Homo-oligomer: A and B are copies of this chain.
């Protein structure tokens, strides 16, 4: 049964220094508020996992929370580069950032394997690319029936996965809809999970395209309206495209970023 509580308590109880943490969300339903709470609580040495690290990961990296990033596409979607990410990779600022780089297909299948209790996944992937030469977690595997060679990637099993969803009921059952990304797999692959939701309701009325994560598959739920801003929650909010654009100049400059960081640290947690 998922416990319903505050974001600050949930992050404090679930996420420790050195953990492997996935904040998932494929442009939609990105758990930004939870990321900011991780920054406020000063977590360090995290291995951050995400298919599409964008602004919130740029912020976590710039704040020095991460020692490693496992990912397949890091950028500010529709705008350009992640400058804190670049600064960490190119200049080790504020701390060095190790990277483990995959493709989307590889990352998605790593979560699928993790959710399935398997140690690895098989795909047609990476063939001919330079990725296997820089990423140790890509290996060949031979089909025992046809002899064909394919690619194997190891399961991802984060210590904690954090996602944002539209709703939960008072028992902690979680409902989300619209673009679903890899959130279900990321939650099921994780040892512990936190779901921030737009609202806690009495009953999860059916919604076309919605999936439900039963309460017993989730560790904690926190009600954080707008917790996906600047991304959006379909049916609740619109994507704040201006914020994505505004992030570019902030992240380009260490001092601007420091100012932003100070403000976030002073915010009262949700």
Contacts and interface: CB of A to CB of B under 8 A. Distances in A.
B139 A144 contact: yes
Q: How many copies does the complex hold?
A: 2
Interface string A138-168: 0111011110101010100000000000000
A144 B140 contact: yes
A119 B148 contact: yes
Contact of A145 (B123, B146, B152): B152
Nearest to A155: B145
Nearest to A123: B118
Contacts of A140: 144
A241 B110 CA distance: 43
A54 to B, nearest CB: 28
Contacts of A137: 145
Contacts of A150: 118-119
Contacts of A206: 208-209
Given A122-B120, A124-B117, A141 B139 contact: no
A93 B123 CA distance: 43
Given A206-B209, A207-B208, A145 B124 contact: no
Contacts of A208: 206-208, 210
B119 A143 contact: yes
A118 B154 CA distance: 17
